[in-house]
Structure 1
């Protein structure tokens, strides 16, 4: 009887161990499934970073270990694009899933512009909100505030900005570093504003009696070219575009921007680490005026532009370290890209050209920021998702940042209305390396409009100078252009006269995409 009694408890103990292991495995499996169904997503958006500016894309004159690490641990795309060769329209396309050239008023905005993103349609952050995520934007905004025709009062809560298009939290500056007002906004309020020193902004005429770059060049610590508009109100020893008065206590110093944005992004990750989050981290680097933190100045050997790339890479490293600190690496998709191609001389005498030292920011491409050539829209694009994406892989699939909206909507099984994200393709399998099939067709916007299909690129005729004031070729030509990108990535051989039938076919397809009002096949 005693033996049977002991055997019974021995069997019970064995069953308990087995059941415990099974429960643990089940729990672990469910946790893994939950992680894969609601991964955190961080989109790191560099500014004016070129295809050839990173080590993993061929740069040899500058070291970018953190972005290179991201690629070694993830998937690097070689044929990824923005929707436009300049900042405001590319950001519009990213957040709305709509080609920016479809909508008037999506050009490069002044700092006092009204909101250009529709509030009654799906946006990228709204897709995440609908999936139960906390959403945040940190960094450059440049998409406007308030209703059309409304004058922005910077001294009161500024409604209808990031909050109106799907962001629960925001820490931003309004436009670009070279445009007023030079202040941070956190959740609709100017940070550090003194009510006794109200802010006023004007882009038409000078206001107040503050020194300007045009009238007081002796006060500048970074001299500017007279033809770029950087000769208005001086802030932190740098002439800006537009006039500003007041808010002296609230104005940032350029050297603190990188750290301020990084600190807020890391704080957002830490605060929301226990629940799914989406962070749109829109960096200021390497847009002008290039004035990185003192710890990076002079370290690249490529002037202030190179130093700003070092600061950008440091920022990426801080984000990756924070994810590791909280054990969020496997549960977080990190996407890194740029808003458009590179520019060197963009209005400030910062040594970007003189100190290039053999570095080629556009790599094998032609053109740059603002160009219809590949250098305008083809940018670095890296995706890391440990445990899902095979590390150290490369994809030649044609993709566009405009596709993120439909891709994540599809991932979350959300249905988009026909009028929403009309140009966004659902390519989640491609973005995670499960498929090598990308877009069939892409329209690129630069100095002119171009269309790409099956490696062939047609740039429609357009009038105007072929070179911009920043020295970039913009792709304009009164004659049609046709390039075989598979054989001629540098777009040197115009085959329009040799392939008239193909040229006309692509021109007709471009016109159809225009008139249809959409380019995807979603009904």
Structure 2
């Protein structure tokens, strides 16, 4: 065969392949084509306790969040986006494993010295992306446990994020209000002086160590409930800690610290596809805005740290632009659960709230089975690839595993995660049909326009934080499209729908 004929045959082969690609694209299989052409960087920006109504793009009028709004206005703003759970550890577990957290009896709010919650043999989002050739990193809050029992904070801590799929991990172990108040990089406490070893205990204080109760004069922030143990930087914490003075973080610099780490990571990894889980600490307590943001919101520290988080995100996006990575980076923005005002400290969150509604018209909040516990801001943004729109599809963070796996060509998953990639990319308005939601190990159902909350024993009001739990001894049934605030319980007046929802709930829960 001469060269001319060979060239003609090769050209025909290319045309045939392109025609199939175009056909697939027209049929809605854009993801399959994209995954063959390029593997975008993937960034999940995850806030902590941010409510559905805390952003101006989601209706807030008393706070302005222009940088997050730019993502919402330039991407897909989901109005029915969910965390799986109304508290942090379970939602983070679901995000990274694609599993319903209520299936794991240990997936509850963990103390700072808890063992690793994720089994190192489990399939995880970073493992899946690593398999597809991605470099993976977490920067920020972890709160999924470390080690396999007793943790020696003065040696390499394992297992942890590195053992469940992250190549790089720069974290705080649990939450900002829990000890140990140190950063951990790939299993080692940062700036640790071995001559001043760290000890942590969640049951008993160390002899001679001051606490919020014994030494209130040392406090710069007054505790309301629960946060009355060791004092670090004038802030009372949950749990007791001794030693590690050189390694202790500066609370007011935490946002800047994590931002710099995230910026440096993308700069140093721009030559290969990467997955970055940027887990910000705002607006979780203790709310410690940098002095640049103190008083900026007029709502006290809670409002200030939301503005601080928005600024950080703006600076991070600016870095992606400067490094010419924005067009090849898929960004997912969300929160681990709904809002709470007074969650352990007196910080004027209630007193200075004014006309702001963190719930955005929903009912409940953090810890609650009502919608404000789990329905959160949810945005997907990919410049030049996702057409700006507002979607009413039901989507869940748990579904990122299967969906992103499809995007990068890894479709073998063994989790509860559903592949709704087309929804996340804006190719369809169809999302999940059914979703089990969870708060403190109790579950509810979102199905279509409806929410079912089964009967439970317990308190209808969490008095410490003044949030309705959704718990009662009778079924509750709401059409949350017509009744966003869940004011009208239709369980008695619509028995046929109630029966149908109970059947769906039981089939989903026990399948």
TM-score, scaled relative to structure 2: 0.92
For the residues of structure 1 that align with 2:163 and 2:429, how far apart are their CA atoms?
A: 36
For the residues of structure 2 that align with 1:190 and 1:216, how far apart are their CA atoms?
A: 27
For the residues of structure 2 that align with 1:267 and 1:316, how far apart are their CA atoms?
A: 14
Partner of 1:274: 271
Shift of 1:36: 5.6
Which of 333, 357, 361 is the matching residue for 2:354?
357
State whether residues 52 and 59 of structure 1, in contact with CA within 8 Å, keep that contact through their aligned partners in structure 2.
yes
Deviation per residue, 1:215-261 (Å, 9 max, x gap): 11111101011xx3100000000110000001011111210111111
For the residues of structure 2 that align with 1:413 and 1:97, how far apart are their CA atoms?
A: 17
Shift of 1:35: 9.0
Counterparts of 1:17-28 in structure 2, within 5 Å, are none
Shift of 1:500: 2.0
Partner of 2:297: 300
Partner of 2:391: 395
State whether residues 95 and 401 of structure 2, in contact with CA within 8 Å, keep that contact through their aligned partners in structure 1.
yes
For the residues of structure 2 that align with 1:35 and 1:467, how far apart are their CA atoms?
A: 51
Deviation per residue, 1:38-58 (Å, 9 max, x gap): 000110000000000001001
State whether residues 36 and 331 of structure 1, in contact with CA within 8 Å, keep that contact through their aligned partners in structure 2.
no
Say if 1:328 and 1:495 are closer, same or farther in 2 by CA, change over 3 A.
same
For the residues of structure 1 that align with 2:47 and 2:331, how far apart are their CA atoms?
A: 13
Partner of 2:188: 189
State whether residues 158 and 189 of structure 1, in contact with CA within 8 Å, keep that contact through their aligned partners in structure 2.
yes
Deviation per residue, 1:318-351 (Å, 9 max, x gap): 1110000011111001111100000001110100
1:471 aligns with 2:472: no
Counterparts of 1:130-169 in structure 2, within 5 Å, are 130-147=131-148, 150-169=149-168
For the residues of structure 2 that align with 1:85 and 1:515, how far apart are their CA atoms?
A: 21
Shift of 1:413: 2.7
State whether residues 436 and 509 of structure 2, in contact with CA within 8 Å, keep that contact through their aligned partners in structure 1.
no
Partner of 1:485: 480
Shift of 1:121: 2.3
Shift of 1:399: 0.4
Shift of 1:62: 1.1
State whether residues 211 and 234 of structure 1, in contact with CA within 8 Å, keep that contact through their aligned partners in structure 2.
yes
State whether residues 446 and 475 of structure 1, in contact with CA within 8 Å, keep that contact through their aligned partners in structure 2.
no
Counterparts of 1:289-328 in structure 2, within 5 Å, are 289-328=286-325
For the residues of structure 2 that align with 1:461 and 1:327, how far apart are their CA atoms?
A: 53
Counterparts of 1:342-353 in structure 2, within 5 Å, are 342-353=339-350
Partner of 2:246: 249
Partner SS, residue 317 of structure 2: helix
Partner of 2:226: 229
For the residues of structure 2 that align with 1:163 and 1:317, how far apart are their CA atoms?
A: 28
1:54 aligns with 2:50: no
For the residues of structure 2 that align with 1:512 and 1:70, how far apart are their CA atoms?
A: 37
1:200 aligns with 2:199: yes
Partner of 1:519: none
State whether residues 35 and 409 of structure 2, in contact with CA within 8 Å, keep that contact through their aligned partners in structure 1.
no
Partner of 1:67: 68
458-467 or 408-417: which moved more? Answer: 408-417
For the residues of structure 1 that align with 2:111 and 2:412, how far apart are their CA atoms?
A: 31
382-391 or 281-290: which moved more? Answer: 382-391
For the residues of structure 1 that align with 2:194 and 2:251, how far apart are their CA atoms?
A: 23
For the residues of structure 2 that align with 1:459 and 1:37, how far apart are their CA atoms?
A: 43
Partner SS, residue 315 of structure 1: helix
For the residues of structure 2 that align with 1:296 and 1:497, how far apart are their CA atoms?
A: 50
For the residues of structure 1 that align with 2:495 and 2:167, how far apart are their CA atoms?
A: 51
Shift of 1:510: 2.0
Deviation per residue, 1:437-467 (Å, 9 max, x gap): 0000011112531101121111011111111
Partner of 2:92: 91
Partner of 1:218: 217
Deviation per residue, 1:262-282 (Å, 9 max, x gap): 110111100101110000000
Partner of 1:521: none
Deviation per residue, 1:89-133 (Å, 9 max, x gap): 000011111110111111000000001112212101111101100
Shift of 1:294: 1.0
Partner SS, residue 294 of structure 1: coil
Which of 456, 462, 483 is the matching residue for 1:462?
456
Partner of 2:4: none
Say if 1:453 and 1:196 are closer, same or farther in 2 by CA, change over 3 A.
same
State whether residues 373 and 446 of structure 1, in contact with CA within 8 Å, keep that contact through their aligned partners in structure 2.
no
Partner SS, residue 468 of structure 2: coil
Partner of 2:428: 435
Counterparts of 1:8-19 in structure 2, within 5 Å, are none
1:494 aligns with 2:476: no
| Residue correspondences, number | 479
Partner SS, residue 270 of structure 1: helix
Deviation per residue, 1:271-301 (Å, 9 max, x gap): 1011100000000011000011111111110
Partner SS, residue 78 of structure 1: strand
For the residues of structure 1 that align with 2:275 and 2:55, how far apart are their CA atoms?
A: 25
For the residues of structure 1 that align with 2:243 and 2:372, how far apart are their CA atoms?
A: 40
For the residues of structure 1 that align with 2:422 and 2:35, how far apart are their CA atoms?
A: 18
For the residues of structure 1 that align with 2:445 and 2:192, how far apart are their CA atoms?
A: 47
Q: Name structure 2 gaps, 5 residues minimum.
A: 1-17, 19-32
For the residues of structure 2 that align with 1:429 and 1:514, how far apart are their CA atoms?
A: 25
Question: Which 4+ stretches in 1 moved above 4 angstroms?
Answer: 32-36
Q: Name structure 1 gaps, 5 residues minimum.
A: 1-25, 27-31, 517-523
For the residues of structure 2 that align with 1:513 and 1:75, how far apart are their CA atoms?
A: 28
State whether residues 122 and 416 of structure 1, in contact with CA within 8 Å, keep that contact through their aligned partners in structure 2.
no
Partner of 2:5: none
For the residues of structure 2 that align with 1:439 and 1:303, how far apart are their CA atoms?
A: 38
